Amino acid sequence: MTTGARGRLIVGLDLPTTAQAEKIVSTLGDDVAFYKIGYQLAFAGGLEFARDLAGSGKKIFLDMKLLDIDNTVAKGVENIVKMGMSMLTLHAYPKAMRAAVEAARGSGLCLLGVTVLTSMDEQDVIDAGYEYDPHTLVLRRAEQARAAGMGGIVCSAEEASAVRKIIGAEMALVTPGIRPVGADKGDQKRVMTPAQALRAGSSHLVVGRPIVMAPDPLAASRAILAEMDSALSD
């Protein structure tokens, strides 16, 4: 498992243009080694940008949340491996996960199963037609991800401690919805501070808006890294 805050902080480049993303990456410099690229930036030139960042030595978490028929998932994963990505998300459906694991076999790509989005609470899960509450659904999908041979799990830090007991010490446990003390929660409903999340068992923290929308992104990232280092040294 990755050690040290710099290897565990993933800055979410949730921005509308690659020009803005490039500015953030330049501003953060060597302090930040890991970036997440999701839908917003991916559909604005972000996939080529992700390839370029990986080529420059940065680690990239490609947050595509894949879900499709087995063959389509497998072929997509094969091409993402060629891009040099470090992490990739897919929804934690057993068949899709098994197809992705087989396609990524032998590569360095860490496949992450998305359990329940951190923007969803119990009513949202009920409205989506699931018979389980969010906590139960997260644990069930964590078990299925481990059985499928996935590299890790994405879940709320609120579930991190329980999930860690299921997946063991080696799998990655990536938590979005991280908000420093006093930060706006935005559309996130299940959140924790960086220190709380690490103590709960998270291995990697995804932090987007509290850094990229901060008046001073570098200062914001350094404050979060310092909080993480303090928690890791406890």
What type of residue sits at position 233? S
Domain of 95 in residue numbering reads as 5-233
Query: Measured between alpha carbons, how far is 230 from 5 in angstroms, rounded to an integer?
Result: 9
Give, as one character, the DSSP assignment of residue 44.
I
Q: What SS3 class is residue 92?
A: coil
Our count of domains for the chain comes to 1
Q: Which helix (H) or strand (E) holds 200?
A: helix 194-200
- Output the pLDDT for position 213: 94
pTM score of the predicted model: 0.90
- Residue by residue, pLDDT tens for the chain (234 residues) are 456 899 999 999 999 999 999 999 999 999 999 999 999 999 999 999 999 999 999 999 999 999 999 999 999 999 999 999 999 999 999 999 999 999 999 999 999 999 877 677 778 877 877 777 878 888 999 999 999 999 999 988 888 899 999 999 999 999 988 887 655 545 445 468 899 999 999 999 999 999 999 999 999 999 999 999 999 987
- Output the pLDDT for position 191: 64
65 as an active site residue: the answer is yes
Query: Measured between alpha carbons, how far is 37 from 61 in angstroms, rounded to an integer?
Result: 6
What type of residue sits at position 183? A
Contact between 112 and 89 under an 8 Å Cβ cutoff? The reply is yes
Q: How far apart are the first and last CA of the chain?
A: 17
Binding residues: 14, 36, 63-72, 118, 179, 188, 208-209
- Output the pLDDT for position 206: 94
Provide the CATH number for the domain around residue 135. 3.20.20.70
Which entry of 23, 58, 65, 189 is annotated as an active-site residue?
65
- Output the pLDDT for position 20: 97
- Output the pLDDT for position 1: 46
Residue 169 CA to chain centroid, in angstroms? 17
- Output the pLDDT for position 188: 47
Binding residues for substrate: 14, 36, 63-72, 118, 179, 188, 208-209
Give, as one character, the DSSP assignment of residue 131.
S
CA trace torsion 191, 113, 104, 38 (10° rounding) = -50
Contact between 208 and 214 under an 8 Å Cβ cutoff? The reply is no
Under 8 Å CB-to-CB from 94, ≥6 apart: which residues?
144, 147, 148
